[in-house]
């Protein structure tokens, strides 16, 4: 979730002269900074909170004070640097993602949250809302937002209209700002927001620990490794080989060597969905929100796709009077800020989806609510559908024309809408934790952006990955909503993971048009038969009945494992095929399940049930199926 904080003044400015200068001198950062300072001033202040703690705040204000200006604010744990007079981050954005706001003289505000960098106070990871926050001196992120806005509207040349936004952890902060309900807060945009760090975002997926990402991120963010991380001491060759050699969380913990009150240590103290994680679910703050809200997410966001979909759904359910909007595009985490984004990996989307989003969705939202100009957004929901490569606009998500449709796994590796009729039928595989299924076919030293759209043919060829595929489609199959998984399984030990992928298999003769080749990672890649992972998600089986109270499997007893994959928006075209893959590891994106009902944070490899047999049933009284959100 590490992002550059987008102050973005000079290169993005729409002022005549400045834009020309930026185009002619894109490599002259110092000169761009000097030009930026002709149009904006920077002010650093320590804003007092209700309990006396002061928060560092950087305010970038237009020198043109012919009229009062709206305020657009981001609150962050990642630092508001550069501190002092520097405008460094203002001149590094070559994409111009903030162009419209700078062109229209927004006051841009960036704040180090409580306890981080130059702000005073104690830092608390994803700080929960305080139940008594509106009384006395109780504090949380919402009260800090309220106090900051109150100071800003009285100490800047503002029009008394404030908007907030943020991506990832900053997106969590944006959700919290909405809870402040300050009268001047008119518009909020949580983008790829951290929402639930146990069930879907960043730290865990359905209770399973995100080994690679969290080991890279948390020791960097907090504790004695702050700013360095421990990855250099782990990765010497590639992440698959080296994390396999490392072992388990316990072995990574020995490298971190942190005894302080960090989230890394809290993870091992709270292995299940107890009150610690429950109170950090940002959806608990989504009641009775007053500002208009635009939730933004990426279909291929490997970090907080869950958070974006579920923040939107929580607000829609819990705060029905809120003017709520949703925008989803074919993006990795934060890619919507890159105006030239037309595709990634081997995927091409037919044009810049991010430029369209910035100009036609995000800016008009803030313009209407903060400037009081333009038209109220005409569509509540704007979602890009991959496959067809087109935007669809509607008033709600999922749309009313979606029908949940069961697709059954059948004998001989088939997928069908017809339920199985055999009285005894199953497919089995050996899950071997000495050689878990990798998340990508390629040796890499980091978690790549494109692994979410990687060709899955490498997995299809493995004996520990089950593959079920439909006949060639003769008509379009459009999916728009969440995917429900209902597996009937039996395992030879007491715990297992289940990874289900929904895949679009391209025709054998498929080729991209010539105009797409410049946007592909490898223009010579054989796209015929490409297996695009439309959605894939892993579930730790012990949580099949409750995330709070895990339960062991009974050996070789037929058991249902049901869970929900994050929403999709994809059109399977005629000539393509639908494929379902099932496996029991996704390494090292997710830590290896010891395949025993033991504590995964304290066990070692020596405690593993290294191999076990897993059966997936497809018979009349035990039909395994995937329920797809089919648009009629």
Tell me the per-residue pLDDT of 51-66, one tens digit each, with 9 for 90 and over: 999 999 999 999 998 8
Is residue 387 within 8 Å of 572, Cβ to Cβ?
yes
Start-to-end CA span in the chain (Å):
37
Domain 18-196+280-394: CATH superfamily is: Alpha/Beta hydrolase fold, catalytic domain (3.40.50.1820)
Task: Tell me what pLDDT residue 258 has.
Answer: 82
- Residues of the chain falling short of pLDDT 70: 1-36, 88-96, 134, 223-228
Of 578, 439, 433, nearest to 505 (Cα)?
578
**DSSP H helical ranges for 339-401:** 353-357, 363-366
Is residue 240 within 8 Å of 588, Cβ to Cβ?
yes
CB within 8 Å of 390: residues ≥ 6 apart: 384
d(CA 307, CA 494): 30
Task: Tell me what pLDDT residue 19 has.
Answer: 38
47: helix, strand or coil: strand
Class of domain 204-277: mainly alpha
- How crowded is residue 587: how many other Cβ atoms within 10 Å of its Cβ? 19
Task: Tell me what pLDDT residue 95 has.
Answer: 56
* Per-domain boundaries in the chain: 18-196+280-394, 204-277, 402-631
Task: Tell me what pLDDT residue 17 has.
Answer: 36
d(CA 12, CA 53): 34
Task: Tell me what pLDDT residue 134 has.
Answer: 67
CATH number of 402-631: 2.60.120.260
CB within 8 Å of 368: residues ≥ 6 apart: 374, 375, 376, 377
Task: Tell me what pLDDT residue 224 has.
Answer: 64
Task: Tell me what pLDDT residue 318 has.
Answer: 97
Of 46, 47, 53, nearest to 137 (Cα)?
53
């Amino acid at each position: 979730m590490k992002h550059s904080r987008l102050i973005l003044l000079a290169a993005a400015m729409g002022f005549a002269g400045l834009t020309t200068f930026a185009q002619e001198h894109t490599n002259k950062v110092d000169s761009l900074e000097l030009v930026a300072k002709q149009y904006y001033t920077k002010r650093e202040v320590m804003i007092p909170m209700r309990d006396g703690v002061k928060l560092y705040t950087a305010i970038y204000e237009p020198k043109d004070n012919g009229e009062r200006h709206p305020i657009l604010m981001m609150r962050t744990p990642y630092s508001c640097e550069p501190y002092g007079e520097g405008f460094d981050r203002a001149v590094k954005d070559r994409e111009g993602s903030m162009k419209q706001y700078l062109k229209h003289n927004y006051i841009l505000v960036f704040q180090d949250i409580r306890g981080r960098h130059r702000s005073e106070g104690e830092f608390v990871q994803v700080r929960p809302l305080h139940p008594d926050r509106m009384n006395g001196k109780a504090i949380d992120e919402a009260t800090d937002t309220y106090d900051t806005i109150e100071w800003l509207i009285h100490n800047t040349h503002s029009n008394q209209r404030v908007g907030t936004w943020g991506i990832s952890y900053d997106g969590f902060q944006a959700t919290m700002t909405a809870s402040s309900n300050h009268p001047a807060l008119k518009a909020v945009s949580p983008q790829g927001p951290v929402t639930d760090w146990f069930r879907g975002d960043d730290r865990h997926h359905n209770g399973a620990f995100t080994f690679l990402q969290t080991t890279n991120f948390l020791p960097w963010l907090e504790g004695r490794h702050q700013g360095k991380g421990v990855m250099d001491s782990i990765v010497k060759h590639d992440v698959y080989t080296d994390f396999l050699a490392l072992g388990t969380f316990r072995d990574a913990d020995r490298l971190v060597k942190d005894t302080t009150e960090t989230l890394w240590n809290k993870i091992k103290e709270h292995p299940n969905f107890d009150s610690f994680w429950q109170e950090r679910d940002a959806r608990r703050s989504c009641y009775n929100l007053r500002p208009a809200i635009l939730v933004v997410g990426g279909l291929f966001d490997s970090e907080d796709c869950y958070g974006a979909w579920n923040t939107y759904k929580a607000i829609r359910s819990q705060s029905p009077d809120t003017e709520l909007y949703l925008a989803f595009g074919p993006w990795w985490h934060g890619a919507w800020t890159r105006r030239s984004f037309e595709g990634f990996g081997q995927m091409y989307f037919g044009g810049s989806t991010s430029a369209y989003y910035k100009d036609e969705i995000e800016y008009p939202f803030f313009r209407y609510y903060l400037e009081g100009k333009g038209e109220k957004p005409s569509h509540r929901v704007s979602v890009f559908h991959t496959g067809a490569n087109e935007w669809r606009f509607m008033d709600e998500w999922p749309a009313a024309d979606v029908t949940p449709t069961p697709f059954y796994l059948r004998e001989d590796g088939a997928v069908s809408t017809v339920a199985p009729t055999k009285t005894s039928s199953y497919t089995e595989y050996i899950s071997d934790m000495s050689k878990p299924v990798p998340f990508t076919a390629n040796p890499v030293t980091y978690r790549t952006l494109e692994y979410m759209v990687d060709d899955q043919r490498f997995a299809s060829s493995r004996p520990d990955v089950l593959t079920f595929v439909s006949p060639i489609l003769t008509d379009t199959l459009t999916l728009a909503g969440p995917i429900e998984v209902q597996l009937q399984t039996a395992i030879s030990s007491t715990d297992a993971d289940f990874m289900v992928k929904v895949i679009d298999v391209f025709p054998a003769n498929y080729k991209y048009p010539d105009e797409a080749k410049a946007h592909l990672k490898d223009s010579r890649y054989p796209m015929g038969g490409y297996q695009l992972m439309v959605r894939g998600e892993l579930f730790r089986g012990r949580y099949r009945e409750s995330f709070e109270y895990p339960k062991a499997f009974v050996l070789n007893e037929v058991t249902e494992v049901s869970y929900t994959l994050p929403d999709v928006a994809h059109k399977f075209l005629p000539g393509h095929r639908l494929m379902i893959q099932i496996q029991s590891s996704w390494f090292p994106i997710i830590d290896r399940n010891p395949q025993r009902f033991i504590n995964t944070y304290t066990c070692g490899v020596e405690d593993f049930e290294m191999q076990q047999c897993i059966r997936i049933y497809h018979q009349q009284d035990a039909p395994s199926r995937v329920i797809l959100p089919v648009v009629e």
